Structure 1
């Protein structure tokens, strides 16, 4: 018996020695399954090291078995091998978050039944999440910021009663109401369900989760009221419900949330006052902007000793702000803009010297700027425009070292600008118009080298315009009109090489116009009217490409340079009796007298003059006769297309910029030999003007009954012959084109004018000499596949991506109403002589009208239902399959496809992808490993750093092409993510989540 017992002990000992050896092999297999070329995470994982305490990220239990694997943010990539991981029988914690893992979660996860923590957040995992019910010991589940799709297995959570943390937001799950099963998991203390397609109302049963300290359901589709039962969550520390469609008031009993520190319910339809928040003394951040809230800010807010962020803009608040607001702690920012607040600015929000933003514009504030802010060196933005503030600006405010915008416009400020402005090294924008400022602009302003925009109009400034302004090499706009500036315009302004707009009108300026202004090649608008300027117009001015010029009401003399004597400037020279125009240009400037070149007292000179006139008439008549003969021959030999245009006398030209041509010159250029392509809504012609410039003209056929269609000229003529002519819906057309004509952005193609008749519409655009991005990536459209593409460096591709994104961002967010393009594609991104991009072809564009729900909820606004699917195959967002209603997110999808083209060099549709598949599907299938992802990148992109940046752009593209529109970022966010690419910044849509 004694021998048998000894034998059993020896067997158990041998078994105990075998288990560690097996787990060592499993760890080495796990290491081999990951891609480790770009990480040092596994340097210590060698067979010679003891894995308990020797392998980085590995911990063991008291029995020497692996209990925890933590490889968070170690740079690993590849697929997750749960068939290996789940063989660690004692494993309780698995943390692989913030890496580059791909693929899906296999059913082998079912075997990890001992797991208490599973953290796979911030990777590139996809597919459908399997049934989680076998993981009945799970306490922490963190799957945020991945690419999971399909239906989340909510019902499988029912048996996971030990669950404490549920983080599954930022994924593309199928729409689902707030899951009732969650309200039965009473051990939960942390819930993150933002941006994962949660619909419906927050159930009253949320009050069951009394241990909750964090509840986040932002960027979702919640409706109804915040349930009163939420007041039972007395331990709640953070509540985030922003960007939903919640209504009603902040519920009664909300004051019970005494531990609440972070509350964000911005971008909803919540109404009422803030009385329920007056006792929440632990608030750190309160974000309620873009709602329908009203009433006063409770005076108790002035005693909140932890409050650092307060954002209440775009509501209907009134009354005074508490005097002690933000004075107790390291206050960060306040934004109460666009309300009806009155009274003074709270004086001590920068008492601790940490305040970064003071945004109080568009209210009714009164009084002076408190002196304390002159010492607030942490300030980045100081904006109090459009109020009733008065007094002098504290002198130190002008010189704050980190301030990038001073916005004091539309108030009653007086006094002068402090000389310390020369020390404002970070200042970008100085907006102080519509006040009572006086004195001289200090010459020290030339030291603020970063200034981009200066607006000082409608004040009482006097004296000289300082020559030191010429040192502002980044200055784009200078508005000094309606002041009392005297003396001469300084020659040094001609050194402001970036200047695009300058207005010095309605001053007392004298002397001549500096010739140096003619060197400002970027100048687009110049207004020097209503001064006392004299002398001749500089001969260098015709070289400027000005869309707006006004030199009226001065004392200028001499002949107007021929290049400026165009009909577009008729009126630009009025009120200058000494100006004249040469005879050949007189017809273009009817408001200016002719220049006389002879002496009326000399019979010989008069005879000579008359002889020249008669000779000129004879030459003109001879030329006219020759022209008629040639014209008849040309008309006889030209096709029906040209005759159709020539016979239409009803052209109506409407200019949106300064133009140097007339409608006849454009119409005559619509010839078959000038055809250069077809856009989304018409044929495009290249027209060479008499002045040497080139424009692009889109010819559109339009009929009130049939809408806008793309047709050839011959087809249009035939159609016109088959049916009676119908009056074009002129008002609707002009309203739409008129709105598009207001677009002013460096990355959007310029629309010069429209020329319309009953059947035809011509849109005249700037001509971009380098064609389209499609041509550069894939070769000309007419060439057989694969065409003859141009080698584009990664630097150029990235700049094209960023520039085009900025153009679309402007269309979506830059105006009072967003403009939806509806046909974003690489052939509609044109390139100028420097390969800078322009968004083009607004043939399918639609001006969006905000619906009340979308506007209040912060969601994308819908266009009216389209009669046909708009867009181009390969770029069309998948929601067209179930709805014809489109919004800005449809443009985002199409732009994501363009990004995929730029990174991969491939076309949106290729045979290799398979039937009914496109580049989005193909790229998604390649996101399995680091090697497969790098293989997606176009081989013509050279250095390794460029390929790394390309992969980051690829991730942005995948976000843009999410199947659910709500999960796609806005174009504003896309621009931010692309800007981060060059710095290696994160490109995912990241929200607040558990990181511990």
Structure 2
């Protein structure tokens, strides 16, 4: 036994002996030399140690076998220069990502020895100098990203030898000259980004025609060179900035099978002779500004399978001959201005999978034959004027996954088989005149996630079989005449987050079993004939934000367990409730019309003649208290500031000579602290001021204009001064790089002042220009561009920063405009970082001071100091209203106690008031486009934080609200059921054009079901 132990010990001894002799591999030694040559202040590379045998477990290092094949240090705050002769020793390296670091120096020439390199990313670095002509040695390179770097000089002609290249990104680098024609050799190139560079302007070069796989980054009109490519089979110029019309010369390309021109800015009409392209199988010209009718000749395209014309301004009738296209599978025309009827035989001779003509002006009966091929998955025609009944032909259409025909003039019952379609995921039919019963066959629709049949004439009970639909997330049957009891089987719907049974004739009590639906966020049982007590089991609904039990005949007390829920609205008005309202519910409850319900026990004897004012009193007090506190802080602060002004003034002149400055730089620059500070001594340089300090314009010796914000700091006469958000701005902005976030170049600090140095924005703030005599110069296209840019900046803060950043002071004066009127979100003095792992959860931080600016503060701030990203979204909604109305958030003309939000809400309650809110400086041509953005603003301004869409969704909605000058005027005489504008409370606005493309075969998105917006029907909200 001892001999065995001795043998084992000898084995380990010799193993470690040989390891000590061999040491770290050669590749590991090279990487260690790299580490020792740079600065790693935050110890990101702390585990790069010489005691390891191989570097394969080091941060950012990936190995295949024992050899290093990938290095990814992207985003790490490492600085210094990449040493020469080091990376070239990694002979098997395929991926090198040094992007978004502070590394400088020139292009490492030894990297050209890495002949296996396939991906190289040096973007967002301080690397500079010209590129080597020998870069052609990297023959396997597929991705080359040099964007936002400091490389300069001409693009080497040798780029044309990188034949494997698929992505070339030179955006915002300092390259100059003319692009070499050798780039035409890169036939595998799918993406090329050249924006914001300094290339010599030229016409579209002829070699672009060789890049047949290119999918992006073209602008201007479609070059005529493409019309000469007679062998071209597929033309994909989608997702560019192309303008002008579709060239008639394309009609000569007889071999063309695919035309992809979607997501551009093309205008004019579809060529009348498009029917000559007999080989054509796919047409996608969606998301443009095309007008006119669909050419009759399109009926000649016998091979056409996919037709996407959505989101244009096309009009006229749908050519009857299209019903003869036997290869047709996708017929998608939504958001145009088509009139007349859909050809009755469409679908009879083809196998349609997708039919979407929503948001047009179509009328007549629903086509009968769309599902004859039994392959139809999407039947979508909401927001039209279809009438008559749903054809019985859809009784057996078992392939359907999405059916949406809300906001039409349909009548009669829904066919039995359609209720129980086994693959159905979304079924919305609200705002019609449908009648009959909800049939028990609905229990077979086991995949149904969204059912909305509200605002119809359905009668009878809600069948208990609905409890089988365990995938259900949103169920709305409000505004019908359903009767009987609420089936307790609803408790089986464990994924349900919205249940709306309001405005019906349900009787008896509220089923206690509803407490099992623990995912519920909205529960609305109002306007029924419910009796009995409020079940205490509802206290199990831990996610519930809105509970509406108003206008029933409920009795008993309000259960105290409801105080533990995250309720934002509790409406128990107009019942027969009694007792004392739990204290934790005082600020969120409407209890009017309950004479025996008290807010405190001492008031019970006097009854509840003034119930509503008593219960809502604490909320009013909170609002008034917050405002008064803010005013007191402002007055006291002003006095203190006045007393200290002379002290600061004494230091001002000797600021540069008598203080020791410390400069911290966040971007590559040659700024000098003494040069910056000099400009803060001259009042003539002041370009703005606010609660946190003055802003100066400085033009430095190198000609660079910058904006300098000067903040107080340090101690004066033994009393510490407030830092006015200095640390918050530095900590926040110093690590952010986004085109729509103002760039913090550096900060300077000493014992008396802090200076924040930003890139200079020549057009000032949005608030200043919008609410001045220059406001009329901002046309709608420019305002839309500003809105989208600001939204994208906030989206970055909320969704792409780790941890998440909440701005907390979003307003038009904190949106700065550069020379091209590109929006930059600024002023992070109130910003806070939210330490949360789930950014879609509304989670705020309790504040001890007022966060935000008057007129922009979200309503929930009146009763809680919790501030989260939903507060930013509300404030951004106010900014959108400013852009649409041209008015300030607070104006005397609104009346006492009325801000911009209330003013707009009051106006659009009336049909004729809608146009009164639109800025008269912009004229009528933009009205319909402005209304689309107004609808997005109303989503952001929902009273309930959980009902506001996340910024990522706001950006998508704004993208889809892009101006289209050829829209027809909104028909103000049209009622809701005939409106051409979608309904925001339904899922349709959120079922965006891009979502339709992505979700064609996917399940419904949960987040689409969570919007409760208290806005008038005229906007379709």
TM-score, normalising length: structure 1: 0.52
Partner of 2:598: 537
The 1:329–1:80 alpha-carbon spacing in structure 2 relative to 1, beyond 3 Å, is farther
Partners of 1:105 and 1:846 in 2: how far apart? 55
Tell me the secondary structure at the aligned position of residue 421 of structure 1.
helix
Partners of 1:955 and 1:30 in 2: how far apart? 39
The 1:418–1:961 alpha-carbon spacing in structure 2 relative to 1, beyond 3 Å, is closer
Partner of 1:439: 508
Matches within 5 A, 1:245-284: 245-274=313-342, 275=344, 277-279=346-348, 281-284=350-353
Partners of 2:444 and 2:878 in 1: how far apart? 36
Partners of 1:291 and 1:963 in 2: how far apart? 17
Partner of 2:259: 191
Indicate if the aligned counterparts of 2:414 and 2:434 stay in contact, CA closer than 8 A: yes
Tell me the secondary structure at the aligned position of residue 588 of structure 2.
coil
> Structure 2: any 5+ residue segments left out of the alignment?
1-87, 102-109, 121-135, 640-689, 692-769, 774-793, 795-806, 817-825, 835-843, 845-850, 853-866, 892-897, 938-949, 968-981, 985-989, 1001-1021
Partner of 1:942: none
Partners of 2:345 and 2:585 in 1: how far apart? 58
Partners of 1:77 and 1:846 in 2: how far apart? 47
Indicate if the aligned counterparts of 2:933 and 2:961 stay in contact, CA closer than 8 A: no
The 1:161–1:139 alpha-carbon spacing in structure 2 relative to 1, beyond 3 Å, is farther
Match of 2:179 among 98, 108, 128: 108
Partners of 1:885 and 1:79 in 2: how far apart? 44
Q: CA deviation at 1:289?
A: 0.8
Q: CA deviation at 1:520?
A: 1.2
Indicate if the aligned counterparts of 2:317 and 2:338 stay in contact, CA closer than 8 A: yes
Matches within 5 A, 1:920-935: none
The one-character-per-residue Cα deviations of 1:849-870 (angstroms, maximum 9, x if unpaired) are 9999xxxxxxx99986745x9x
1:294 and 2:389 correspond: no
Partner of 1:468: 537
Partners of 1:469 and 1:98 in 2: how far apart? 56
Match of 2:588 among 505, 523, 531: 523
Partner of 1:382: 451
Partners of 1:361 and 1:391 in 2: how far apart? 17
Partner of 1:502: 571
The 1:102–1:567 alpha-carbon spacing in structure 2 relative to 1, beyond 3 Å, is same
Partner of 2:463: 394
Partner of 1:408: 477
Partner of 1:96: 167
Partners of 2:909 and 2:622 in 1: how far apart? 35
Q: CA deviation at 1:479?
A: 3.0
Indicate if the aligned counterparts of 1:210 and 1:235 stay in contact, CA closer than 8 A: yes
Partners of 1:842 and 1:803 in 2: how far apart? 17
Match of 2:579 among 513, 530, 547: 513
Partner of 1:179: 247
Matches within 5 A, 1:71-470: 71=143, 87=158, 94-96=165-167, 107-108=178-179, 110-114=181-185, 116-120=187-191, 131=203, 134-135=206-207, 138=210, 140-144=212-216, 146=217, 149=219, 151-152=220-221, 154-173=223-242, 175-274=243-342, 275=344, 277-279=346-348, 281-325=350-394, 327-349=396-418, 353-398=422-467, 400-470=469-539
Indicate if the aligned counterparts of 1:822 and 1:891 stay in contact, CA closer than 8 A: no
Q: CA deviation at 1:464?
A: 2.8
Mean CA deviation greater in 162-171 or 402-411: 162-171
Partners of 1:963 and 1:337 in 2: how far apart? 25
Matches within 5 A, 1:833-872: 866-867=920-921
Partner of 1:766: none
Tell me the secondary structure at the aligned position of residue 430 of structure 2.
coil
Matches within 5 A, 1:573-592: none
Matches within 5 A, 1:12-31: none
Indicate if the aligned counterparts of 2:484 and 2:507 stay in contact, CA closer than 8 A: yes
Partner of 2:884: 820
Tell me the secondary structure at the aligned position of residue 290 of structure 1.
coil
Partners of 1:449 and 1:254 in 2: how far apart? 49
Q: CA deviation at 1:254?
A: 0.7
Q: CA deviation at 1:120?
A: 0.9
> Alignment RMSD, CA only?
6.3
Partners of 2:551 and 2:404 in 1: how far apart? 31
Q: CA deviation at 1:306?
A: 1.0
The one-character-per-residue Cα deviations of 1:120-139 (angstroms, maximum 9, x if unpaired) are 17997879996556338737
The 1:461–1:189 alpha-carbon spacing in structure 2 relative to 1, beyond 3 Å, is same
Q: CA deviation at 1:408?
A: 1.1
Indicate if the aligned counterparts of 2:118 and 2:143 stay in contact, CA closer than 8 A: no
Q: CA deviation at 1:367?
A: 2.4
The 1:141–1:661 alpha-carbon spacing in structure 2 relative to 1, beyond 3 Å, is closer
Q: CA deviation at 1:217?
A: 1.7
Tell me the secondary structure at the aligned position of residue 411 of structure 2.
strand
Q: CA deviation at 1:345?
A: 1.9
Indicate if the aligned counterparts of 1:451 and 1:475 stay in contact, CA closer than 8 A: yes
Indicate if the aligned counterparts of 1:821 and 1:845 stay in contact, CA closer than 8 A: no
The 1:843–1:227 alpha-carbon spacing in structure 2 relative to 1, beyond 3 Å, is same
Q: CA deviation at 1:404?
A: 1.9
Partners of 1:76 and 1:526 in 2: how far apart? 59
Partner of 1:717: none
The 1:794–1:504 alpha-carbon spacing in structure 2 relative to 1, beyond 3 Å, is closer
Indicate if the aligned counterparts of 1:30 and 1:85 stay in contact, CA closer than 8 A: no
Q: CA deviation at 1:496?
A: 3.6
Partners of 1:156 and 1:391 in 2: how far apart? 66
Indicate if the aligned counterparts of 2:329 and 2:354 stay in contact, CA closer than 8 A: yes
Partners of 2:962 and 2:175 in 1: how far apart? 17
The one-character-per-residue Cα deviations of 1:704-730 (angstroms, maximum 9, x if unpaired) are xxxx9999xxxxxxxxxxxxxxxxxxx
The one-character-per-residue Cα deviations of 1:791-836 (angstroms, maximum 9, x if unpaired) are 63444899876644455559979xxxx99243689x99xxxxxxxx
Matches within 5 A, 1:882-961: 888=930
Match of 1:790 among 829, 843, 854: 829
Partners of 2:537 and 2:238 in 1: how far apart? 54
Q: CA deviation at 1:341?
A: 1.7
Indicate if the aligned counterparts of 1:820 and 1:845 stay in contact, CA closer than 8 A: no
The 1:568–1:131 alpha-carbon spacing in structure 2 relative to 1, beyond 3 Å, is closer
Q: CA deviation at 1:200?
A: 1.4
Q: CA deviation at 1:381?
A: 0.8
Indicate if the aligned counterparts of 1:167 and 1:993 stay in contact, CA closer than 8 A: no
Indicate if the aligned counterparts of 2:327 and 2:351 stay in contact, CA closer than 8 A: yes
Partners of 1:86 and 1:158 in 2: how far apart? 27
Mean CA deviation greater in 152-161 or 212-221: 152-161
Q: CA deviation at 1:422?
A: 2.3
Indicate if the aligned counterparts of 1:356 and 1:381 stay in contact, CA closer than 8 A: yes
The 1:209–1:102 alpha-carbon spacing in structure 2 relative to 1, beyond 3 Å, is farther
Indicate if the aligned counterparts of 1:804 and 1:839 stay in contact, CA closer than 8 A: no
Matches within 5 A, 1:693-712: none
Q: CA deviation at 1:29?
A: 15
The 1:263–1:93 alpha-carbon spacing in structure 2 relative to 1, beyond 3 Å, is farther
Partner of 1:546: none
Indicate if the aligned counterparts of 2:538 and 2:562 stay in contact, CA closer than 8 A: yes
Indicate if the aligned counterparts of 2:546 and 2:570 stay in contact, CA closer than 8 A: yes
Partners of 2:426 and 2:579 in 1: how far apart? 41
Partners of 2:413 and 2:610 in 1: how far apart? 57
Q: CA deviation at 1:373?
A: 2.1
